[in-house]
Chains A and B, each alone.
Chain A
Amino acid sequence: QVQLVQSGAEVKKSGASVKVSCKASGYTLSFYDINWVRQASGQGLEWMGWMNPTTGKSGSTQRFEGRLTLTRDTATGTAYMELDSLRSDDTAVYFCARGRWLTPGHYSFDVWGQGSTVTVSS
């Protein structure tokens, strides 16, 4: 069964960093991109960034540049999202999602992790 399994909930102080893991199961991590999406309570989905696990190349939306680091460990099939200088408005559920070209030229997120809750307190 293809799935992405994420790490558990985290509580952090403002200014700290958080690192969330996303382990691929039922397929090889390197074969497809991993995207990161977050959702504040009662709010919509916000795309944060992506990573190609084969090359390690990554990108993120401008909002997170300088604070977001996306990495992977191909030996264990695990992707990581690290967010620095946490603020209260970073409190959210963070999802990893597999990015695939399901239709030639068309990219979508076909497998999602269960989500990891990050709470930032002052």
Chain B
Amino acid sequence: DIQMTQSPSSLSASVGDRVTVTCRASQNISTYLNWYQQKPGKAPSLLIHAVSSLQTGVPSRFRGGGSATEFTLTISSLQPDDFATYYCQQSYLIPRTFGQGTKVEI
């Protein structure tokens, strides 16, 4: 199975900060990488697919990048609604494994 490792596991930031989350794959997954946001007590929601394509309705302050084994999710100016846990997921192979999550806290 492909292992996905996120860093950091958690971070503290303030409104207006630029935040970057890193996701590393245990093997080359090309651009088969998605990002999800999950708020407490809620289901995850799709943020970005295929590394950098924003899902409909996702604000442009979210940006995804990378390829092969290293990927990033950047929030250019953190907003109150962005405090949540973020997960990367590879869709290159089954099982479609997730990273362990990065919690973005105030």
A109 at the interface (CB under 8 A from B): yes
Q: Are A59 and B99 in contact (CB under 8 A)?
A: no
Taking residues whose C-beta sits less than 8 angstroms from the other chain, chain B's interface range is 20 to 34
Q: Are A45 and B101 in contact (CB under 8 A)?
A: yes
In the complex, per-residue mask of A31-55: 1 if CB is within 8 Å of any chain B CB, else 0:
0000101000000111100100000
B32 to chain A, nearest CB (A): 6
Spell out B's residues near A (CB within 8 Å): 1, 31-32, 34, 36, 38, 43-46, 49-50, 53, 55, 87, 89, 91, 94-101
| Alpha-carbon separation in the docked complex, A58 to B49 (Å) | 23
Q: 8 Å CB contacts to B: which residues of A63-122?
A: 95, 97, 102-103, 105-110, 112-115
A25 at the interface (CB under 8 A from B): no
Secondary structure call for the A interface: strand
19 A/B residue pairs, CB under 8 Å, sorted by A: A37-B44, A37-B98, A44-B87, A44-B99, A44-B101, A45-B38, A45-B87, A46-B98, A47-B89, A47-B95, A59-B94, A61-B94, A102-B49, A106-B32, A106-B49, A108-B91, A110-B46, A112-B45, A113-B43
